[in-house]
């Protein structure tokens, strides 16, 4: 029998063991779990799981497709980058640099054009490109250098991106019903997004406690 591993939090579903506490008997095959089954740890859907393999293979970045990054970034993209750099500096107790990046983030955000049309399918396409091209290349470069800090950033951000992919896929299928009578919480350290009644006790990605999560409030206009 196989084992399925969550690509976000590493929770492992073992077909041989099942989850008796949740009413899933030992021997229950992965394919027989309900399609709307969620990871008990992070809430990701079944699409975020992959079969556990015993073999590991190191891939050199030189053999991978290089992400196309030679383009002018928009004001909103610059704002997001500066905002992330600000948070990174804050975690390293570099307050002056954090404040400077925050000012840059606010400046670029003020110059950004409003989004004219929200397109979930387009977002999913961009995320798929990140997961199939961007992250494999970045992970290989960081591992080969080696750069532990960059590799940790890659690992965290890839897990967060996979969770976003799972949530967007759910939203595409369920619409606004998905967000009824529930909350949306975001980890202020790694950006992990959790949909549920309350924030998890520990972030499934970076392991910080629940008080590091912020509850997102729905915009009224």
pTM of the model: 0.73
Q: To which residue do tokens 């949909």 refer?
A: 195
- pLDDT tens digits, 9-66: 889 999 999 999 999 999 999 999 998 899 998 988 898 898 887 655 555 656 667 7
Q: Does some domain include residue 112?
A: no
- pLDDT tens digits, 195-216: 999 999 999 998 889 999 999 8
Peptide bond connecting 146 to the previous residue in cis, omega within 30 degrees of 0: yes
Query: Which CATH number covers residue 28?
Result: 2.20.28.10
Q: How many CB atoms lie within 10 A of CB 141?
A: 19
pLDDT at 100 over 60: yes
Q: Does some domain include residue 164?
A: yes
Q: How many domains does the chain have?
A: 3
- pLDDT tens digits, 149-186: 788 888 888 899 999 998 998 888 888 888 888 999 99
Q: Are residues 34 and 3 located together in one domain of the fold?
A: yes
CA 3: distance to chain centroid?
22
Q: Does some domain include residue 103?
A: no
Q: Does some domain include residue 18?
A: yes
Q: Does some domain include residue 30?
A: yes
pLDDT above 70 coverage of the chain, percent: 92
Domain holding 9, by residue range, is 1-56
Q: Does some domain include residue 98?
A: no
- pLDDT value, residue 198: 92
CA 71: distance to chain centroid?
24
């Amino acid at each position: 029998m196989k084992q399925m591993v969550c690509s976000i939090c590493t929770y492992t579903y073992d077909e041989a063991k099942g989850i008796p506490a949740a009413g899933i008997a030992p021997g229950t095959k992965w394919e027989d779990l309900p399609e709307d089954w969620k990871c008990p740890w992070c809430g990701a859907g079944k699409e975020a799981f992959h079969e556990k393999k015993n073999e590991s293979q190191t891939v050199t970045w030189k053999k991978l497709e290089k992400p196309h990054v030679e383009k002018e970034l928009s004001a909103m993209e610059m704002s997001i980058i500066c905002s992330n750099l600000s948070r990174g500096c804050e975690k390293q107790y570099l307050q002056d640099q954090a404040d400077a990046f925050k000012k840059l983030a606010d400046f670029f955000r003020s110059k950004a054009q409003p989004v004219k049309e929200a397109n979930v399918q387009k977002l999913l396409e961009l995320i798929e490109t990140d997961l199939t091209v961007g992250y494999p290349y970045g992970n290989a470069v960081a591992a080969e250098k080696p750069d532990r800090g960059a590799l940790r950033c890659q690992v965290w951000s890839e897990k967060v991106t996979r969770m976003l992919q799972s949530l967007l896929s759910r939203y595409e299928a369920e619409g606004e019903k998905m967000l009824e009578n529930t909350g949306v919480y975001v980890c202020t350290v790694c950006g992990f997004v959790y949909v549920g009644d309350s924030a998890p006790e520990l972030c499934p990605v970076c392991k910080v406690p629940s008080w590091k999560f912020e509850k997102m409030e729905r915009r009224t206009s």
